[in-house]
Amino acid sequence: MPRFAPKLLAALFLAATTSAEAQELSLNAFGDLNYGYRFGDPASQSDAEAFAAFGEDIHPKNSHSGFGLVGTDFVLTADLPWDMVYLGEINFQVERGQQSEFEVDVERMFLEKRFAEELNVQAGLFFTPVGYFNRTLYSRAFLMTSAQVPDLFEEELGVVPTHTVGLQVHGQVSPGAEHRLGYALSVGNGRAKDPIANVYARDDDGWRSVTAMLEWSAPWANEFRFGVSGWADRIRSYRVTQLGEVRDTLDPTTESMRLRELGLDAHLVFKSRWVNLIAEGVYQRHDDDLGNLPAPEADTRVLGGLVELSANIGPEGSIKPFVRYDRVDLPDNAGPYLGLRSEEELITRVFVAESSMGIAGVTWDPAPSWRLKLEYSRAFTGPREMNAVVAQSAFAF
């Protein structure tokens, strides 16, 4: 996410809210406070050593040891004339790996024209229409059951492209009896030379990413959705093979690479009076497009997913015991692309770990806008300590 001077951002935000002559404005805020305690040996000693030498922050941002402020998120929605809607979302957050620094992020900023239920057109910065977690819960603690963002959808790991700048067309048709078939199709700037760099203002690589999603919603229980989505992109980057190696992209000896990225996602959501299930899986592949990569790098696969099961008990279902399992399987060395990080003209390779984690906990909603969580997580692979306990107070209003 881009870093802006807070004053400039505030001015832009204010200008957007006042000049648009909005018919109806709505401002919401999301935030959370955490206390975490991690203990035990690393789940994988070799991963811990590799991480210590070449890694970035290993912990999900909500589960460091000690007290933690993750951030506060402000979402402004304005219903404008001519069936237009503006949404601006600004996040004051602690970046993963920077435990003492806040930054200002523009999470989303788009204008949407609502022509009909079947056709809406969105332009700007939006969540890539992939799956359920990324579009619906994203990383807002208040909306999630667990305190921890799954690695698969962690923006700062870059496995799934969480945001897109571009155009999105979306809508729904009704086959009957309150069933709905929703769709989304987006074209955007796509991936940069490393997976966590964003391409907001320009995209010089000559290709745009394309994402498509179909989702069926049925009037069963409180909520039922099943959806499939996929994205395709071409990535222009540089070949950096050794952990810790730094290459200058202006150096003619630095080898270029071009990759074709294809991702597929399937999700199932079922929420009833008593139980809730969220299941989502992702398959992603990177294929050499120039023909200059050796065999292990030329064709790599990522598999990941999460399954969460929770129950609704207590007054009005306000207490939710839950279990969740997260997993991300990476190719050797995280493949040719996912381990790259860039800063200006320099590009390096960091250690990115696979993860496999089980979480069990309970949430309690003392009020509709306040959620308390207590959970234990066990890391089965990767450099993290095996055990963690996290308490969280998440709010929205």
Partner 1 sequence: MIKRISRRLLAASLVLAALTQQNTARAGRQLAIVVNRGASTSSLTADAVKSYFLKQHKQWPSGEKVRPVQQESAVHAVFLSKVLKMSGADYERYWLERKYSAAETPPKTVEDGAAVVKFVGAMNGAIGYIDVGELDAKAREKLRVIHVVSY
Give the footprint of partner 1 on this chain (CB under 8 A). Answer: 24, 26, 28, 30, 75, 77, 79, 83, 85, 87, 112, 114, 116-117, 135-136, 138, 140, 142-143, 174, 177-178, 180, 217, 219, 316-318, 365, 367-369, 396
Q: How far is the CB of 281 from partner 1 (least distance, A)?
A: 20
Q: How far is the CB of 44 from partner 1 (least distance, A)?
A: 36
Mark out the alpha helices in the chain (DSSP H runs): 6-19, 45-54, 295-298
Q: What is the signed CA dihedral for 243, 244, 249, 255, rounded to 10 degrees? A: -30
Tokens standing for 233?
A: 């992109």
Q: Closer to partner 1 at the Cβ: 98 or 174?
A: 174
Tokens standing for 268?
A: 């199932």
Q: Closer to partner 1 at the Cβ: 178 or 329?
A: 178
Q: How far is the CB of 140 from partner 1 (least distance, A)?
A: 6
Ramachandran angles phi, psi of 351, nearest 5°: -85, 120
| Cα–Cα distance, 309 to 355 (Å, whole number) | 19
Q: Closer to partner 1 at the Cβ: 178 or 345?
A: 178
Q: How far is the CB of 238 from partner 1 (least distance, A)?
A: 36
Q: Closer to partner 1 at the Cβ: 114 or 378?
A: 114
Q: How far is the CB of 163 from partner 1 (least distance, A)?
A: 14
Ramachandran angles phi, psi of 339, nearest 5°: -90, 5
Distances (CA, A) of 351 to 47, 133, 221, 338: 9, 25, 44, 9
Q: How far is the CB of 209 from partner 1 (least distance, A)?
A: 21
- Contact indicator for 236, 203 with CB cutoff of 8 Å: no
Q: Closer to partner 1 at the Cβ: 138 or 337?
A: 138
Query: Residue by residue, what is the 3-state secondary structure of 123-151?
Result: EEEEECCCCCHHHHHCCCCCCCCCCCCCH
Tokens standing for 387?
A: 């055990």
The count of C-alpha atoms lying within 13 angstroms of the C-alpha of 215, restricted to the half-sphere facing its C-beta, is 27
- DSSP code of residue 238: E
Tokens standing for 105?
A: 């992020």
Q: Closer to partner 1 at the Cβ: 262 or 372?
A: 372
Ramachandran angles phi, psi of 305, nearest 5°: 180, 175
Q: Closer to partner 1 at the Cβ: 137 or 232?
A: 137
| Cα–Cα distance, 308 to 388 (Å, whole number) | 18
Q: How far is the CB of 136 from partner 1 (least distance, A)?
A: 5
Q: How far is the CB of 357 from partner 1 (least distance, A)?
A: 25
Q: Closer to partner 1 at the Cβ: 321 or 358?
A: 321
- Angle, alpha carbons 240-242-248 (nearest 5°): 40
Q: Closer to partner 1 at the Cβ: 244 or 368?
A: 368
For residue 357, give the nearest of 389, 339, 384, 320 by alpha carbon: 384
| Cα–Cα distance, 214 to 120 (Å, whole number) | 15
Q: How far is the CB of 85 from partner 1 (least distance, A)?
A: 5
